[in-house]
Amino acid sequence: MNENVNVKVSIKNVSKAFSKLQVIDNISFDVVEGQFVCIVGPSGCGKTTFLKMVAGLEAPSSGSILVDGFPPNPKNRNIGFVFQEESLLPWRNVYENIRFGLEIRSNKNRKSDSIIEEMIKLVGLNGFEKYYPNQISGGMNKRVAIARALAVDPSILLMDEPFGDLDAQTRWIMHKELKSIHEKLKKTIIFVTHNVEEAVYLGDLVLVFSKRPIKIREVIPIELSEPRDKLSEQFIKYREMAIGLLREELVGI
């Protein structure tokens, strides 16, 4: 990596096994500050496991992960995580859900109110503060989860197939909004998906993971003019390349 860019996340020779099941096999890469990295890989290959290790929820079996130069530990570093499955606290309304991380971090002061207001505006949930998760749509649930993760001003944002269960229309809207959030806040994002189009649309960099045990199959820097057009020839070229790689990985699963 270039000396004068700021490495945010550094993955070095990381492997992970659950007893006998080898999930990740010696991967290394760096994520630069402010970069939007998308990871695509076949289902069940270990993408969630990988993100949890970056969050400090799981320990690697060997190798090292550094975030801002330290092994990740949620107790002393703010980390944003958007989970694959439903993760809002169903007994809390939208406002209280977004406040959750601030409460844990015991920043529950006057400032936290203005942070929450800001987050609500950022994800476009004005007017829905008092609604409970079961009263709002799947897309809105994801917005709340994103707002909750961002409210603690995390040093990295980890997203695990966040839009996997949304319909195509909603997913498309969420893509645009996530892009604009990234432009506004300049957060470092690692975004996991099995949807190649999504990865090429969102990422500065797309990593293609192999099937289990994970190796890095390919690193694809995306050089497209903004705003990206999913129908442009360039876009389709990237997409087809990544799909081709992924398809090779799917053979024999």
Partner 1 sequence: MAHRYRTLLLGTITFSIFLLIWQLVIMFSPTVFLKDAGPIDSILALVKLATKGDVEGISLFDHTVASVLRVLAGFSAACLTAIPLGILMGLRSEIYEGAKPVLEPLRFIPPIAWIPLAILLLLGFSRYVFLIWLGAFFPILVNTIVGIKAVKPTLIEVAKVFGAKKRQIVSKIVVPSSLPEVVAGMRIGLGIGWMCIVAAEMIAPEVTGLGKLILKSAQLFQIDVVIAGMIVIGILGLIMNETFLIFERRMFKWRREIRV
Q: Which does 43 bind (CB under 5 to 8 A by kind): partner 1, Mg ion, ligand ADP, none?
A: ligand ADP
Q: Does 205 bind partner 1 (CB under 8 A)?
A: no
What gap in Å lies between CA 119 and CA 201, rounded to an integer? 24
Q: Scanning residues 67 to 126, which ones bind ligand ADP (CB under 6 A)?
A: none
Beta bridge partners of 81: 158
Residue whose pair of structure tokens reads 């809390």 in the numeric block: 92
Is there a contact between 63 and 71 (Cβ–Cβ < 8 Å)? no
Q: Which does 105 bind (CB under 5 to 8 A by kind): partner 1, Mg ion, ligand ADP, none?
A: partner 1
Beta bridge partners of 7: 32
Q: Does 71 bind partner 1 (CB under 8 A)?
A: no
Q: Does 48 bind Mg ion (CB under 5 A)?
A: yes
What gap in Å lies between CA 205 and CA 189, rounded to an integer? 11
Count of other CB atoms within 10 angstroms of residue 130: 10
Q: Does 18 bind ligand ADP (CB under 6 A)?
A: yes
Residue with Cβ nearer ligand ADP (123 or 203): 203
Q: Which does 172 bind (CB under 5 to 8 A by kind): partner 1, ligand ADP, Mg ion, none?
A: none
What gap in Å lies between CA 163 and CA 166, rounded to an integer? 5
- Phi and psi at residue 206, to the nearest 5°: -115, 125
Total residues contacting ligand ADP by CB under 6 A comes to 11
Answer for which of 48, 141, 188, 193 binds ligand ADP (CB under 6 A) is 48
From 111-119, 128-136, 203-211, 216-224, give the range in contact with partner 1 by CB under 8 A.
128-136
